[in-house]
Amino acid sequence: MAFDRFAGDGAPSSVYRSTETYRDRFPGSHETGEVLTMTTPSLPEILARHAIDVRSARRGMLSIDVQGHELEVLREMGEAVKEFAQVSTSAASW
């Protein structure tokens, strides 16, 4: 996965390039040109690695805030997302 690094007061890095709306809203933030590439395990892999059984929780909750890739995370989780009693996501329209 590749992230474009942004510069500015609290500006996030994102897998998406900035849009005109984003640039209008946050004029001090800009892409630095640096792209970070990383490999990450899936959430089910992370849970298994740490022996976490979500089903044993009274009301397991999953909160996802991954800079625009929430839907991809949910899709990659497949049936594992059903193990959580509650799922919360964050979304922004830049």
Same domain, yes or no: 19 and 62: no
Same domain, yes or no: 23 and 58: no
Same domain, yes or no: 29 and 45: no
Q: In sequence order, what are the residues at sequence separation of 6 or more whose Cβ sits closer than 8 angstroms to the Cβ of residue 42?
A: 76, 77
Same domain, yes or no: 55 and 28: no
Specify the residue for token string 């497949």: 78
Position 49 scores a pLDDT of 94
Position 94 scores a pLDDT of 52
Same domain, yes or no: 46 and 34: no
Q: How many domains does the chain have?
A: 2
Mean pLDDT for each 10-residue chunk of the chain (94 residues)? 62 68 81 74 88 89 83 86 90 61
Same domain, yes or no: 4 and 15: yes
Domain with 27, as residue range(s), is 1-39
Q: Global pTM?
A: 0.57
Position 8 scores a pLDDT of 60
Same domain, yes or no: 46 and 91: yes
